[in-house]
Chains A and B, each alone.
Chain A
Amino acid sequence: MNKIVKYKLNGKDVEAPEGRLVIEAAKDQGIEIPHYCYHPALGNPGNCRMCIVEVAGAPKPQVSCRTGVREGLEVKTDSDAVKRAQASALELHLVNHPLDCPVCDQSGECGLQDYYMKIGQYSSSVREDKEHKGKRIEAGPHVMLDQERCVLCTRCTRFVDNVTKTHELGIFGMGHNERVEVTPGMTLDNAYSGNVVDICPVGALTDRDFRYKVRVWYLDKTDSICPGCSRGCNISVHANTQRPWHNDGKRVARLKPRVNMDINGHWICDDGRYGFSSLDSDRLGKVLRLSPERAELSWFDAAHEVAAKLKDSSIAVVASGMLSNEDWAAYKALFVDALKVQGHYFTAEPDQLGEEDALLRRKEKVPNLKGAEALGLKSGSFDELKKNLEAGKVKTLYVIERDLTKIWGDKAAGLLAKADMTILQGPNKYALGDSFTYRLPATAYVEEEGHFTNFEGKVQAYKKALAPIGHARPDWDIFALLKKAVIQPAAKVAA
């Protein structure tokens, strides 16, 4: 940390570490200086000229994103000259902007709109026609590019140059013909491409997955943790519940990164960002017995029916790193303490393994294997489980939130059939969902709150964004119900 120096901000004596950029130091004091090109993780080219401030003694206005705090510095962010300079910079940004806000997906979270409301001139002096550039350019599988809306802040090109180092976007042409373009021969398909949509301060880069689904002001935003891998990236769940007929009837509209410099910085990967379709499809909502005769049960009846069969059976539990710390604790109380189960299987198998890189993505695609480890739970190998199933040693197979076909492929159905009783607990039905004896619906992570412990051992909380579907309950709650039924059978309760 640099030494703390005193400086004057709008006439007020304040302190900041020496060399801290004025744009950041002012933010520390609650003063937001308008800006497009500056981004704390992408540098300060100073090309948008929005963050202009007055510095005492300087011959001309300075950009606050390139001015460091020093002892005795005097900065004004609110003088008439500054307001005029910022308003005029905004005016020049808008000369050729199409002003198509009513049909622009960025509306409601657009830097041009926001600053226009705050510092705009409110009367246009532009009588000339707009210059035209390319629209609806499919930059990549996730990103749509509109060159007319672009303010050429170069955040996106700096992202692909400096963060992913993949260079799919560049500034082409010169002067007023300049535009962001996809590098010839390339497509914007790196593993982090969605981030350019977040950092684009205007509607030039929009999300193809989200476009035209919901107006952003109808979204409810909840802090959460991405369950896509063991990194534990901080995200915000943007849910559409106010207008349920929008977004094709789906509740979760999009996931956005939240800044956490200790975990994910400013970014999330595309796998995490777009991997939320299972939250609104293939969901379980009913407590079901599927065989011998299909019946919808109450939680009370189901718990006692299952608990009675669990006792004195040889049980194997297939669990998953999708469980929260709270779930793992209840899991342990039920399966280890009460039922003395020997066979626990929760390692990441092909169904939960994927690509890893130096930026964020981790190999194991579940958030919380560390949580199980912290409780001393140990997983056996799936090969061992397979052998035991084949040998008929497993009478009851309890599967929590896993798709066995993605572990054992075609053999999964046969292996499942080897057990006398099978239970599927989880939010989704998956491929073999109809082949189980019981189906217990659990909440998805957006419908509960809890904690994940990431691969570094950092414990992070996620919050409840949505109501559970149907009769779904959190996994810990189901484990607790079952434990109670194991310890205290129904007959006694009834008596």
Chain B
Amino acid sequence: MTKILTKHFDSEPKFHELEAYRRLGGYSALKKALGQDRKALQDEVTKSNLRGLGGAGFPTGVKWGTVPPEDKVPGPRYVVVNADESEPGCYKDRILLTRAPHQLIEGLLIAAYVIGAKDTFIFIRGEYQNQYDILEKALAEAKAAGLLGDVTIHLMRGAGAYISGLDTALLETMEGKKAWPRQPPPFPTVAGLMAKPTVVNNVETLSMLPFIINEGAEAFAKIGSPKSGGTVLFSISGSVDKPGLYEFPMGTKLRDVLAACGGPKAGRKLKGVIPGGTSMPPLMEKDLDIELDFDSVRAAGTFLGAGGMIVLDDSMDAVEIAHNIERFLTHESCGQCTPCREGSNWSERILERMLVGHGEQADIDNLARVGDNITGKVICALGDTVGMVLKGYIGRYPEDFKKRVKSS
């Protein structure tokens, strides 16, 4: 199985240190990139079919291409690393930051070179104290080794809000404001941090860059599926024998992923697989043969997200799961727009009532209706998921919901 990011994780325990990283070829891509034509590098990334692995799946090279050229919009431009990993079920960035901080720094420096950014930022989840320490140490190493050149990497820490993981909310947070998502247009690449052109990329996305530069776009694209290049990390948990971080080529069948991690657990029947973190409705038994990439998962009615895979089995109850997720979304709703702020809280309370035995058929219809009234009518993706989760679980597990209706 081809691995890109985690290739040396099992064989090199000190991969997080500069010496080991360089010994295994680290920073050769940066050396190769510096001095090359920046537009050509950007085209290379576009050709690689690298997609945003923070969850949105937007083609990275295309995103970079929307940064206005320096002769049209002079002044600083920034690269921001989104390391505010908070989606329940996701821990891939945590492991990348722990085990391969130099891989990220190298990717970031390549991106900064292509974008023309002198100031770059790593916005790291506040709770990631160990990872922050590791990253700080790695940065000092890279700086002492003269690898940063004229680029400055600023470390910034989150204050605990899930919503800050959304790019525009993250930018607001960085500016010292309440983490309320912005409504594009303008997109961050046009007016981002301090209204300057800003590329926001996920840890995993940027960590892919050294491979693409070293091995070429074609080699990267070939590993993945036709429209999603390279590999993808799955943080697997739930009803599995071997939970943990797995790297698979894009387009690996769900069936094969489950086989690798041993899910569902022995004696249990598969109920579904949350593919990308709890905000995404589950894939079902019938989806076992889909080839996991952004587009195919989307076609199956859910999202690959950030690869936070949770395997559900028949011992679990859909109403309890939906309630748990809605409780999380209610807690983390930023409160800016009404449908999400009020709708998440309302649906959580309806679900809670159903859980304690006071559900009615009208509640199920109402939840589906309210969900429908939220998704697509809110400012950001968190709001969309509030409705998506409701509709997703009611639609996939109607029996579980019917069981919660009081028989009169």
Contact = CB atoms under 8 A, between A and B. Distances in A.
Nearest to A60: B376
Contact of B161 (A46, A126, A127, A174): A174
Given A61-B377, A175-B331, A126 B339 contact: no
A49 B335 contact: no
Given A60-B376, A175-B331, A93 B338 contact: yes
Interface stretch (B94-102, B223-231, B341-349): B341-349
Contact of B342 (A66, A85, A93, A127): A93
A175 B332 CA distance: 7
Nearest to A47: B337
Interface string B344-359: 1110011001000000
Nearest to A87: B373
A128 B366 CA distance: 13
B378 A49 contact: yes
Interface of B: 161, 178, 183, 330-339, 341-346, 349-350, 353, 362-363, 366, 369-370, 373-374, 376-379
Given A47-B338, A49-B378, A176 B373 contact: no
A47 B339 CA distance: 9
Contacts of A466: none
A450 B367 CA distance: 60
Given A175-B345, A176-B330, A152 B335 contact: yes
A173 B376 CA distance: 25
Given A92-B346, A93-B338, 9 more contacts: A60-B377, A92-B343, A125-B369, A128-B349, A171-B335, A174-B335, A175-B331, A175-B332, A176-B344
Contact of A176 (B333, B362, B363, B366): B333
A325 to B, nearest CB: 48
A52 interface: yes
A173 B341 CA distance: 12
A127 to B, nearest CB: 8
A178 B341 contact: yes
A49 B337 contact: yes
Interface of A: 45-49, 52, 60-61, 66, 84-85, 88-89, 91-93, 95-96, 125-128, 131, 151-152, 171, 173-178
A127 B353 CA distance: 10
A129 to B, nearest CB: 8
B355 to A, nearest CB: 13
Residue with the highest number of chain A CB atoms closer than 10 Å, among B344, B369, B374, B377: B377
B334 A95 contact: no
Contacts of B346: 92, 95, 126, 128
Given A126-B346, A171-B178, A175-B332, A52 B338 contact: no
29 contacts: A46-B183, A47-B336, A47-B379, A48-B337, A48-B338, A61-B376, A85-B373, A89-B338, A89-B373, A89-B377, A92-B346, A95-B343, A96-B345, A125-B362, A125-B366, A125-B370, A127-B350, A128-B350, A152-B336, A152-B338, A152-B341, A171-B178, A171-B335, A173-B335, A174-B334, A176-B333, A176-B341, A176-B342, A178-B341
Contact of A96 (B342, B366, B369, B378): B342
Contacts of B178: 171
Given A60-B377, A92-B373, A178-B335, A128 B353 contact: yes
Contacts of B344: 175-176
A287 B346 CA distance: 67
CB-based closest 6 A-B pairs: A88-B373, A178-B335, A176-B345, A175-B333, A60-B376, A92-B342
Nearest to B372: A88
Contacts of B373: 84-85, 88-89, 91-92
Contacts of A91: 373
Nearest to B365: A125
A125 B366 CA distance: 7
A98 B333 CA distance: 22
Contacts of A49: 337-339, 377-378
Nearest to A94: B342
Contacts of B343: 92, 95
Contacts of B345: 95-96, 131, 175-176
A173 B349 CA distance: 19
Contacts of A125: 362, 366, 369-370
Nearest to B358: A127
A93 B344 CA distance: 12
A96 B362 CA distance: 19
Contacts of A85: 373, 377
A73 B407 CA distance: 52
A154 to B, nearest CB: 8
A96 B342 CA distance: 8
A144 B379 CA distance: 30
Q: Which of A45, A92, A127 has the most CB of B within 10 A?
A: A92
> Which of B183, B339, B369 has the most chain A CB within a 10 Å cutoff?
B339
A175 B335 contact: yes
A175 B362 CA distance: 26
Contact of B341 (A45, A126, A175): A175
A95 B350 CA distance: 12
B339 A89 contact: yes
A108 to B, nearest CB: 23
Nearest to B343: A92
Contact of B337 (A46, A61, A96, A126): A46
Contact of B338 (A127, A131, A151, A174): A151
B104 to A, nearest CB: 29
A177 B369 CA distance: 24
Contacts of A52: 377
Contacts of A88: 339, 369-370, 373, 377
